[in-house]
Amino acid sequence: MDRGDVLSGAAFSAVLRSAFAFVIVLVLFGWLALVYIDRSLIAELGDDVQQRWNIIATDHANEGQDHVVTTVNKVSRVQSNGHHAVALFDTNDSLVAGNILSRPEGRGLQVGALDHVDGSPDDLTHDYVYYSDSLDGTLLVVGQRLDLLYRTKILVFRALTLSGFLIVLTMLSVGYLLSGKSLRRLREIETALSKTSEGDMAVRIPENGGTTQIDRIARQLNQHLDRLSRMVATTRNTAAATAHDLKSPLGRAYLSLGKAMERVEHDEDPSAELADTQDELENMRVIFDSYLQLSRIEAAGQEHLGKRIDLVALAGELADTFALIAEDEGQSLLFDVDAGKDYGVNGDGQMLQQMVVNLLQNAVTHGAEGNVITVRLARAEGCVRFTVADKGPGIPAESKERVFEPFHRLDPSRSKPGSGLGLALVRAIAEKHNGTIALRDNHPGLIVEVTLPATAI
């Protein structure tokens, strides 16, 4: 896999942008943390040096200046590491006692460099927080070097830098892996589409059960490839199937016309032969109309599918009509629906009516005398389920998928009326409405179940 393709992937780019944003936030947070530490420690150290200055000032008030000079000399000798500073200067700015060589500027609490007697170029800092003020004409200075402050700031800076580096490195590593995974999935999609364009209609994108956007797109593409494959197969088979289905009525029409002409030549009445010819031509017209209707449904867009259709009213009215037709055939038709529920779907009323008519017509046509047809509407998990069950011969398991192919007939002799397009139309209408269709055994008979998305209540 090319590393440049991985680095230019959307996943890696997103992680890179996130890492950049994280670094900005980390720098801002680090700056605020250092400012807070600086102010807090200086305030704390300032209180400490001021308290020590007050103690010496109290000694001066109680014991006199000589005692203070002694105390300052002792303290400066004991604290000879340069961390602590204490000194007493006279009115001429000369050092009286202590470990600060020159008088510092300013009065009160100050932060700055002191000329400490133990100062060294190797010291971490020469900055002190110190308190200086007049003491009966002299100047007493007490200070604390800021080593602790700078060490703390260095430790915080190193901790933030190291943690930031590790986090950014981890983010970029994860981004690289995710980008590589996404790129592999995209190449699987690219390969599948390329093979499809070359005519391999059986190729599909491997599904791994993932839930990423690419996985969802892969599943949708597979669904589109299924439809495309079915449409291509349908197109390839349609010409042969059409020729096969039209061959018989065309031949019979040709023979009837021949017989009619013979009757005309013998001055006989050709009405019966002409009527037969008309029936055969009508059969061919029905086949052409059904096929054209199937083509229109498959090619139609979604613009006419937004109307709310009440399936109870639509199916109930058609069930009443077909109950009379079934009764004429010695069959019975029952309409069962749970009252008080909503059976609205978004769709095209004419298409849905055609779907219901085809299913009821199939149930009556393929059922024998005594056949019981049950039409049922039910709600299930945000869907409307329309079911037609009969007690007819049913459909063998091996043919339950093929019956949706245009012009496919279970009866090779074509003894039953029909064009072989009824279930193909039903599935096309169901899929156009984002629904599904399933065939199940009714032991005996067939159950056709169409599930359509219900409208929001």
Q: What is the pLDDT of residues 57-71, one digit of tens each?
A: 998 888 888 888 888
265 found inside a domain: yes
Band of pLDDT at residue 135, cut at 50, 70 and 90: confident
167 found inside a domain: no
* Contact of 277 with 256, CB cutoff 8 Å: yes
Q: What is the C-alpha to C-alpha distance for residues 55 and 131, in angstroms, rounded to an integer?
A: 12
Q: What is the pLDDT of residue 455?
A: 84
372-380/95-98 β-pairing:
unpaired
For 253, the domain range is 213-297
Mean pLDDT (the chain, rounded): 86
Average pLDDT over residues 70-89: 82
Cβ within 8 Å of residue 177, ≥6 positions away:
none
Band of pLDDT at residue 382, cut at 50, 70 and 90: confident
45 and 123 housed in the same domain: yes
293 and 310 housed in the same domain: no
What are the b/e assignments for 232-247, b being 16+ CB within 10 Å?
A: eebeeebeebbeebbe
* CATH label of the domain that carries residue 127: 3.30.450
138-145/84-89 β-pairing:
antiparallel
16 and 90 housed in the same domain: yes
Cβ within 8 Å of residue 366, ≥6 positions away:
390, 392, 393, 416, 446
169 found inside a domain: no
345 found inside a domain: yes
Q: In what order do the strands lie in the sheet with 436-441?
A: 332-337, 372-380, 383-389, 446-453, 436-441
Q: Out of 264, 297, 330, pick the residue that ends a domain.
A: 297
Q: What is the pLDDT of residue 49?
A: 93
